[in-house]
Amino acid sequence: MSVLRLLIVDDHPVVRTGLRGMFESDPDFEVVGEAADGAEGAARAAELRPDVVLMDLQMPNVDGVESIRRIRALPAPPPVLVLTTYDSDVQILRAIEAGAAGYMLKDSPRDTLFAAVRSTAAGGSPLAPSVAARLLGRMGGGGGARGGGDLTMRQLDVVRHVARGASNREIARDLRISEATVKTHLLKIFEKLGVADRTSAVTTAMERGLIELPGRD
């Protein structure tokens, strides 16, 4: 297996140093750069073209969510794995909506983090167990009960891609349809589920059992 090139984005120098030391203790990984805030992280991602970006969320100036958006807008963007101490519903869903490939917590065991980075590099969507539980726990009393109608197979495909953080352009490419068609599908999905945005569409689809957690369907 080739060495995976990593970019660490975190505003705490001690955390960056610790992560660098941990990953570079394994010959499968190389830390090619660090960044102290989201703006620098996006710029470094464009410059260094890492295989995976490890992204904190709470940072000064530009936070992790906005940095993820900027990175996902790059040509051939690297996947972003959130690595944070925060597992609130809002933070998780904002990161997924922005395009994060996965969401792990900093207290995860070393081998679990290594496996999550490898999975991310291979196109997977790793979620920390507590994060998965929070996503499921969110599905209790939302406004998702308003909408009616079943989603078509193609609409389900679109929702699954959205749940993985794919952009309209990426969905169009993967499903071999135009971006305009993706937007049309999304509008119909919103109408059928009784929601107004992508995040609500994902959570409502999971609530109804139409899709599974990102990375599992």
When the pLDDT of each residue in the chain is averaged and rounded to a whole number, the result is 85
Average pLDDT over residues 42-69: 95
Domain 4-137 top-level CATH class: alpha beta
Q: Of 1.10.10.10, 2.40.160.20, 1.10.1060.10, 3.40.50.1000, which CATH number belongs to 143-207?
A: 1.10.10.10
Q: Is 194 left (phi over 0), alpha (psi -120 to 50) or beta?
A: left
Residue 147, pLDDT above cutoff 60: no
> What does the pLDDT look like over 115-144, one tens digit per residue?
999 988 988 778 787 776 665 555 443 443
4-137 and 143-207: same fold? no
Block residue for tokens 């569409």: 201
- For the cut 50, the answer to whether the pLDDT of residue 145 exceeds it is no
User: Angle, to 10 degrees, between the axis of helix 153-163 and the axis of helix 198-207?
Assistant: 110
Say which range, 32-36, 83-87, 129-133, has the weakest mean pLDDT.
Answer: 129-133
Q: Domain map of the chain by residue range?
A: 4-137, 143-207
Residue with tokens 């090619």: 32
Q: Which of 2-6, 86-90, 158-162, 188-192 has the lowest average pLDDT? A: 86-90
pLDDT of residue 124: 78
State the Cα torsion 109-38-97-142 to the nearest 10°. Answer: 80
The mean pLDDT of 60-79, rounded to a whole number, is: 93
Question: Is residue 55 predicted with pLDDT exceeding 90?
Answer: yes
